[in-house]
A = this chain, B = another copy of it.
Amino acid sequence: MQRRNFDHRFSSAIITMLAAGGAPLANTDVSVEQTRHAFAFGNIGFDFIPLANNETEEPAERPFGGASVSKLGDLADLWLDLFNTATLPFYWGGFEPERGKPDTRRLLATAKWFAERGTTVKGHPLVWHTVTAPWLRDLDETEIERVQRERIRRDVGDFAGIIDSWDAINEVVIMPVFDKDDNGISRLARKIGRIPMIRLAFEEARAANPRATLLLNDFDLSSAYECLIEGALEAGIQIDAIGLQTHMHQGYWGEDTMLAMVDRFARYGLPLHLTESTILSGHLMPPEIVDLNDYQIPSWPSTAEGEARQADEIVRHYRSLVSHPAVESINYWGITDDGAWLGAPVGLVRSDGSKKPSYDALHSLIKGEWWMPATTLRTDELGRLTIRGFRGDYAISASGRSASFALGEVDAATVTLA
């Protein structure tokens, strides 16, 4: 395996510990424990909407799929033990299937449920031509633009403070030429053009939540996306991060291809988010399928051989991406095979709720190699100790008192126990 450099992910700092009164805590055993990565290890949180809303019956409509309600408790434990960032579904067609009746209450409860468990929450997406509101079809383009703008303002405003990160607009490269259905968003994009579509999404979202991190997100990682990004940046649109989808239903691309792609998009000096990554634990989708949605089969089992391969590939995928300084986020697309998109065995957990080898492999990496569990260290005569670890938040405690600090840019800090 190629050696990769993770120096930019780790820091060491000399921490001077002070007791509550301000005196150095000399020659004392203290317990240090990491509480958060300074890196978004995310996954979709779609499955947990019923759990967060105390719904015990299967929802009548699950426009995005999702795991069986009875299994959500155990699944949540597995999810929360591995990931720190949840993506929630705001597909307009699912969120507001009937005009004027958005599903705000249930999504807000879900976002809060995640936030209370220390998870950052992201919304996906504010503008997209697929799964968009079917009632847009009855409107002319001027009206579509107006209600699209209103929708962004409303939802970004309603969730501000709980969701401060959004895929502002999704898959713009194909948006105006998408011809699989008649939908209002493609029609609007065809009329006003791609860059005005991006502008309206960012403009409204920014106005509704100036603190939000706003992404442009796409599956088309060809030169087309480069050209689109360059056009949007030249047009003065402030893009906070570039979203790169990497659904690998047709096979893991390998580190070299993945990093060469990442390098192309790193050229813009913007943070890169790998927004949608999937790696299969079953047979691969044939390479001739262009739109993944076209591959519909009755059963797509997870296999022992596939699970071993997935465990190997997911570690290589995360290791290579975390080694790249421009990458700030990897979002895996699905915790379980139960109710997964296309029925594909993409999960880290089998449909029966048991962990696949990929779960343990990724856990060993993220919460093992890249994580400091509770560790006892001893201060010197001046109350100092040196901590080296994955950048992020840490808790430190001694004699029943505690404090927190961030390991990052600074190489020395003073921490007072309270």
User: In the assembled complex, which residues on chain B have CB atoms less than 8 Å from the CB atom of A233?
Assistant: 193
A205 at the interface (CB under 8 A from B): no
Which listed residue, B235, B264, B267, touches A231 by the CB 8 Å rule? Answer: B235
> Contacts of A230 on B, CB cut-off 8 Å?
193-195, 228, 231
Residues of chain B with a CB closer than 8 A to A226's CB: 176-177, 194, 224
Which chain B residue has the least Cβ–Cβ distance from A172? B227
A381 to chain B, nearest CB (A): 54
- Complex Cα distance A193/B269, Å? 12
Query: A19 to B410, alpha carbons, bound, how many Å?
Result: 94
Shortest CB–CB separation between residue A226 and chain B, in angstroms?
Answer: 7
> Which B residues are CB-close (under 8 A) to A228?
227, 230-231
Contact call A234/B174, Cβ cutoff below 8 A:
no
Q: Which residues of B contact A274 (CB under 8 A)?
A: none
Complex alpha-carbon distance, A352 and B223, angstroms: 42
Write out, one digit per residue, whether chain A residues 220-250 have a CB within 8 A of any chain B CB (1) or not (0).
1011111110111111000000000000000
Residue numbers in B under 8 Å from A267 (CB-CB) = 190
A173: Cβ under 8 A from any B Cβ? yes
Contact call A223/B177, Cβ cutoff below 8 A: yes
Contact with B along A166-184 (1 / 0, CB 8 A): 0000000110110000000
**When chains A and B are docked, how far (Å) is the Cα of A223 from the Cα of B174?**
7
Partner of A223, one of B193, B224, B232, B264: B224
A190 to B263, CA, bound (A): 12
Return the CB mask of A193-214 against B: 1 if under 8 Å, else 0: 1111000000000000000000
Is A264's CB under 8 angstroms from B177's CB? yes
A105 CB to nearest chain B CB (Å): 38
Once the chains bind, are B190 and A223 in contact (CB under 8 Å)?
no
Chain B residues near A223 (CB-CB < 8 A): 173-174, 177, 220, 224
Of A173, A176, A224, the most chain B CB neighbours within 10 A belong to A224
Q: Taking the nearest CB of chain B, how far is it from the CB of A224, in angstroms?
A: 4
Copies of this chain assembled into the complex: 2
Give the distance to chain B from A358, nearest Cβ to Cβ, in Å.
33
Q: In the complex, A233→B195 CA distance in Å?
A: 10
Which residues does chain B contribute within 8 Å of A264, judged by CB atoms? 177
A177 CA / B228 CA spacing, docked (Å): 15
Which of B173, B176, B235 touches A234 (beta carbons < 8 Å)? B235
A176 — which chain B residues lie within 8 A by C-beta?
226
A384 to chain B, nearest CB (A): 46
Chain A residues numbered 262-320 whose CB sits less than 8 Å from any CB in chain B: 264, 267
For A177, list chain B residues within 8 Å (CB).
223, 226, 264
**Bound complex: CA A3 to CA B211 (Å):** 58
How far does the Cβ of A229 sit from chain B's closest Cβ, in whole Å?
A: 9
- List the B residue with the shortest CB-CB distance to A220: B223
Bound CA span A20–B223, Å: 62
Q: Which of A193, A231, A264 has the most CB of B within 10 A?
A: A231
In the bound complex, residues from chain B placing their C-beta under 8 Å from that of A173 are: 223, 227
Q: Which residue of B lies closest to A267 (CB)?
A: B190
Alpha-carbon gap, A117 to B222, bound state (A): 45
CA distance A223 to B221 in the complex (A): 12
Q: Which parts of A52-105 form the interface with B (CB within 8 Å)?
A: none
Q: How far is the CA of A222 from the CA of B177 in the complex (A)?
A: 11
Interchain CA distance A236-B68 in the complex, whole Å: 53
Give Cα distance in the complex from A279 to B16, angstroms. Answer: 77
A193 and B224 in contact, given A177-B264, A264-B177 (Cβ under 8 angstroms): no
Determine the distance from Cα of A196 to Cα of B232 in the docked complex, in whole angstroms: 13
Complex CA gap A267/B264 in Å reads: 29
Chain A 102-136 residues near chain B, CB threshold 8 A: none
In the bound complex, CA of A394 to CA of B95 (Å): 64
**4 closest pairs, A vs B, by CB?**
A231-B231, A224-B224, A227-B227, A227-B228
Given contacts A174-B223, A224-B226, 8 further A-B contacts (CB under 8 A): A173-B227, A176-B226, A177-B223, A194-B226, A195-B230, A196-B234, A227-B227, A235-B235
